[in-house]
Amino acid sequence: MTAKRPLTLRLAAPRGFCAGVDRAIQIVEESLNKWGAPVYVRHEIVHNRHVVERLEALGAIFVEELDQCPDDRPVIFSAHGVPKSVPAEARQRNMIFVDATCPLVSKVHVEAERHHQNAREIVLIGHAGHPEVVGTMGQLPEGTVTLIETVEDVAAFTPANSANLAFLTQTTLSVDDTAGIVAALQARFPGIATPHKEDICYATTNRQEAVKVLAPGAGLVLVIGARTSSNSVRLVEVALRAGAASAQLIASAEDIDWTWFDGVGALGLTAGASAPEDLVQGVINACRERFDVTMETVKTADETVTFKLPRVLAG
* Bridge partners of residue 296, in order along the sequence: 10
Three-class SS of residue 240? helix
Which of 193, 265, 274, 268 lies closest to 232 in space, CA to CA?
A: 274
Cα–Cα distances in Å, from 168 out to 91, 173, 185, 195? 28, 12, 11, 6
- Element of type H or E holding 20: helix 19-35
Q: Are 193 and 167 in contact (CB under 8 A)?
A: yes
> Which candidate in 121, 132, 149, 303 is catalytic?
132
Q: Are 18 and 201 in contact (CB under 8 A)?
A: yes
Cα–Cα distance, 143 to 140 (Å, whole number): 8
Q: Are 131 and 100 in contact (CB under 8 A)?
A: no
Cα–Cα distance, 218 to 206 (Å, whole number): 19
Cα–Cα distances in Å, from 216 out to 234, 261, 266, 280? 17, 16, 10, 21
Nearest 10 degrees: Cα torsion 123, 124, 128, 132? -150
Q: Are 9 and 46 in contact (CB under 8 A)?
A: no
In the DSSP assignment, the letter for residue 307 is -
Residue 121 is among the residues annotated as catalytic for this protein: no
What is the number of other CB atoms lying within 10 angstroms of the CB of residue 259? 6
Active centre residues (catalytic)? 132
